Amino acid sequence: MRIVLLGPVQAGDVPLSARPRMLLARLALAPGAVVSADTLVGDLWGARPPAEANGLHALVYRLRKALGGSIAVESAGAGYRLAVEARDVDAHRFEELAARGRRELAAAPRQAAETLREALALWRGEALADVRSAPFAEAAAARLEELRLAAVEDRFEAELKLGHHTEVLADLTAAVAAHPLRERLAALQMRALSAAGRQSDALAAYDEVRGTLATELGVDPSAAVKEAHLAVLRGEPARPAPGRLPAPLTSFVGRDNELALLAELMAASRLVTITGPGGVGKTRLAVTAAARHRAHRHGRLWLVPLASVTDPAEVPGAVLGVLTATTPRPPASPQEPVERVAGLLGGGEAVLVLDNCEQVAAAVAEFTTRLLELRPGLTVVATSREPLAVVGEALCRLGPLPLPHRRSEAADSPAVRLFLDRAAAVRPGFALDESTVDDVVEVAHRLDGLPLALELAAARLRSMTAGQVARRLEDRFRLLSTGNRGAQPRQRTLHAVLEWSWELLTEPERTLARRLAVFPAGADAAAIESVCQDDELPRGEVGYLLGSLVEKSIVDECDERHRMLESIRAHLGDKLGQAERAAVRHRFTEYFAELAERHEPRLRSAEQETSLALLKAEYDNLLVALHWAIDTGNADAAARLLAPLCWYWNTLRYDSRADPLVAAALGLGDALPEDARAAFSAYQLFSGAGPLPEDVEHVRRLVEDCARTGALRRYPIIMMATLTAAFMLGLEDLAEREIQRLREGGDQWARACTYLVETFARYDHGDWAGVTAATTEALRAFEETGDRLFTAMALAGVAHVRSIDGDHNAAIAAYERAKALAPPGDPSYLAGLAAERMRAGDLAGARRDLAAAQRMAAGSGQHLLEVVAAIGLAELHRRAGDPARSDRELDRLLALAREAPLPEQAAEAVVASARMANRLTAGDTAGARALLPATVAAAAAHHDLASAAQHLARLRFLEADHAGAATALGLSEVIRGSFDHGDPELRDLVEELVRALGEDGYQRAYRRGTALPRQDAAELLT
């Protein structure tokens, strides 16, 4: 629903009385933000606040009732928030469009005019027209009116730049009459009158504004008005000739930061070189920046294309050709070409743009150095795939357009916006929506945000869908083989652009470049040297050649890592011969197998952070090395690579490729080392999301194999899943025997892990004292290892114990410590912290933690983490008394789970308990009763039947079976080993039951539950 502030205040077609309308307007001025109650009272009532203490609350209630469910007015801490996005409020949409129009004004006046017209069309009258009596309204309306007038002025300027002086003159004159003190309007009117041939009227307009300013304000006209007056007196055109730049055929998208940087560099340096790979948009950026320079406005700017110049001796002639085509020849002509150019340029400020210099870079460098010495007022902007390497040269390194990190950011990504802009040109109406967003984002990522590639891909939408374009990118050079026939031959297709870069390389550079193409994720210098060197390319030469490839924009360097754009990598990878490819891949596999083997034990030590950062950086390289090891039957390398990867998958990052890769490695059979074969077989069996295997003897044999071969000691990451599974399947003797052996061994981390295993086993047996002791020991032992991740995991266990015991402060402190130890961007412990705050009654604190968790999860790109945050948010809504909203959040959670991907059965199990809790909170006994079997089944699968017993207790209470409710609470204690003393809802339930049954009656019914053996209690539920 659109909220209107630019006119009478409206929220769709909802009728609103005066005071709720004021509240809506005030909240809409800050959409999505919390406005404190004190601020609202002051802004709505001023110095006369309502007599009733709850006056604001009553007004909020009236607004909520009027809006119904169309827009939410949320309570947030000590204030309120209107749950809408900025784009849904016309005033904020206007500000966004007006700012965009102003940015477009210099380089794209036609686009600026369209944008500003769209912005001004949002106005339906005076801003906040019918709430002006509110104390806040006058200042807010005045600000919006000032922004409107600035947008009007920008729109007039855009129209004048387009030569539409006649069309806008009447509106411009009316605007000047309405605002006689706005000097910019007066200057624009003078320019329009002069362009229309009405110089006398333009001079009269100047006299009028000068007189008005003197009479009203006692000041002289501004410099801008005086400059327009002088232009009329001199008979100058309304706008200087556009200079020697080509008119753009398409809009300019993105690059705001680069344009700002380029403007700074041109102001501070006399030689600025824009470098970057082919197709990145160097020429377009240079032309756009040049169009904004004051030298262009004064006709003192020239563009010299050098793409067709291949002979270095022809560089001065190419510049002379451009200058003599636009500048009168001086009477005398110097002997030297560079001096002739200097003479034609003349004195004063000037800008020379030398485009596409890479093939004659040395000649351009020599020519430019001499020319800058002769003309102190000259600035040279060069575009090249490598720097000119001249003293005083400032570099503007241009990379691909920024890509969206997540789906929700797609519309704001410059790469996506460029694709959409060019797509709309060939397929009118093409837009970013649910049917196209995933394909468009994939195309943008697969093409690295490279502008030329995106434009060529968009052109394919003449005959293909976005999905078809995305699927055909495996053969990108064929797909992008049809380009702009008006461009230089080497710029028409992606292949031509990249082949031109290849031809400029020396033979040693080509050797290194094609070998570098085997790295999917870039690499540091040490990896590149080890993988790419051989007798033909000595190790000592690799560093120098790598620097040269960086200079020539074949390789990008960032944070000491080197990578190629995917399109460059694909192009150069095809140039590897079969024998060279096999040799490079072998060195690649061995290098990363050794790296994996070296860092695997460090992942479980105080060096974890460093090794984890390396593992993340090299993740794609490690996966490719594993693929190649499996494909070539290199079982030893495969085993070394899988060890840290299994740790990574099991601890930090879900990857759908993990299971197939483990299965493929196991397919190597007896070629795998015996301990590795046992370990990865156990990992495959126990680390999935599905249920435990039913063949207990098979599990026994597998655990025995892991023990016999030493796999539990060599690959301790499998220990937790393996021994926990043994406990769960009744193989307690086997599990306890191996735990004892591991505790007697010398591996400190393995010993710490045994206490986590013991925690799970004790919990599954209802031994709460054992759980408490094992959890405490696990924390102590992991702290000694220096392993931050598993220390955080142990702290979460401690927090759970403290929470059940009712010690919320200790539980919160443990979660806070776990959050500090967790890797950046992991929302899991924040979600746990929020859950504990809810149990402690701090819903506001829980909301803050969940908001942070949601931001982290969304930024991670992993839907499973978003599921974790969504579970917490659903519980927050329920505890806040809004089970319907909680259900909607659970629906969203299921959609996220499907994208994770999470098996549907597992996803349903996640929400079963929450669904039943919502029904209980809503008082829907029939709905809750219907969900009980699914809730019990899910709780049994997660070894948490105690929670199901608590749900049963609440259900029986609603059904007026008070004794049965008390007995169910007793069942929860015998199953867990402890009553949940930290749940305020259970405490309230106990009070109600005592009130209904009496203390003795409650205790008798409760003991009927606790008197049962644990197994019998569990069977009563299942």
Q: Considering the domain 495-576 in this protein, what is its CATH number?
A: 1.10.10.10
Token pair recorded at residue 26: 């005030």
- Interatomic CA distance for residues 133 and 721, integer angstroms: 68
Residue with tokens 């002639």: 317
How far apart, in Å, are the Cα atoms of 982 and each of 316, 411, 833, 837, 839?
Answer: 83, 45, 14, 11, 7
Beta-carbon contacts of 550 under 8 Å, excluding residues fewer than 6 positions away, are 556, 557, 562
Sign of the alpha-carbon torsion through 308, 311, 315, 321: negative
Dihedral angle computed from the Cα positions of residues 107, 109, 115 and 121, in that order, rounded to the nearest 10 degrees: 150
Token pair recorded at residue 1004: 């008798």
Q: How many CB atoms lie within 10 A of CB 515?
A: 27
Q: Phi first, then psi: what are they for 274, rounded to 5°? A: -95, 115
The amino acid that residue 348 corresponds to is G
Token pair recorded at residue 575: 């140039």
How would you classify the pairing of strands 271-275 and 301-305? unpaired
Beta-carbon contacts of 806 under 8 Å, excluding residues fewer than 6 positions away, are 981, 982
CA nearest to 832, candidates 885, 795, 806? 795
Residue 767 gets which letter from DSSP? -
Q: What is the pLDDT of residue 475?
A: 63
Sign of the alpha-carbon torsion through 454, 456, 461, 467: negative
- Interatomic CA distance for residues 929 and 943, integer angstroms: 21
Q: Give 214-222's long-range contacts (Cβ < 8 A, gap of 24+).
A: 216/180, 216/181, 217/181, 221/183, 221/186, 222/183
Q: Give 845-853's long-range contacts (Cβ < 8 A, gap of 24+).
A: 846/872, 846/876, 847/76, 847/876, 850/876, 852/827, 853/827
CA nearest to 808, candidates 954, 980, 996? 980
How would you classify the pairing of strands 301-305 and 350-355? parallel
- Interatomic CA distance for residues 528 and 537, integer angstroms: 12
CA nearest to 487, candidates 478, 479, 497? 497
Q: What is the tens place of the pLDDT at every residue in 235-267? A: 654 443 334 677 666 778 888 888 899 999 999
CA nearest to 593, candidates 618, 559, 561, 565? 618
Q: How many CB atoms lie within 10 A of CB 538?
A: 11
In the chain, domain spans: 256-325+338-397, 407-492, 495-576, 610-771
- Interatomic CA distance for residues 828 and 819, integer angstroms: 8
Q: Phi first, then psi: what are they for 1015, rounded to 5°? A: -65, -40
Q: What is the pLDDT of residue 526?
A: 92
- Interatomic CA distance for residues 778 and 798, integer angstroms: 9
Q: What is the pLDDT of residue 241?
A: 34
- Interatomic CA distance for residues 502 and 810, integer angstroms: 63
Q: Where are the alpha helices (DSSP H) in 196-314?
A: 199-216, 223-234, 256-268, 282-291, 294-297
CA nearest to 100, candidates 268, 254, 314, 298? 254
User: What angle (nearest 5°) sits at the alpha carbon of residue 700, between those of residues 697 and 703?
Assistant: 150
Beta-carbon contacts of 432 under 8 Å, excluding residues fewer than 6 positions away, are 410, 411, 416, 420, 440
List, for the chain, all residue ranges whose pLDDT scores fall below the cut of 50.
Answer: 237-243, 326-332, 334, 485-492, 689-690
Q: Considering the domain 256-325+338-397 in this protein, what is its CATH number?
A: 3.40.50.300
Beta-carbon contacts of 501 under 8 Å, excluding residues fewer than 6 positions away, are 277, 278, 385, 552, 553, 554, 568
Q: What is the pLDDT of residue 487?
A: 45
Fold equal for 256-325+338-397 and 495-576:
no
- Contact between 734 and 712 under an 8 Å Cβ cutoff? The reply is no
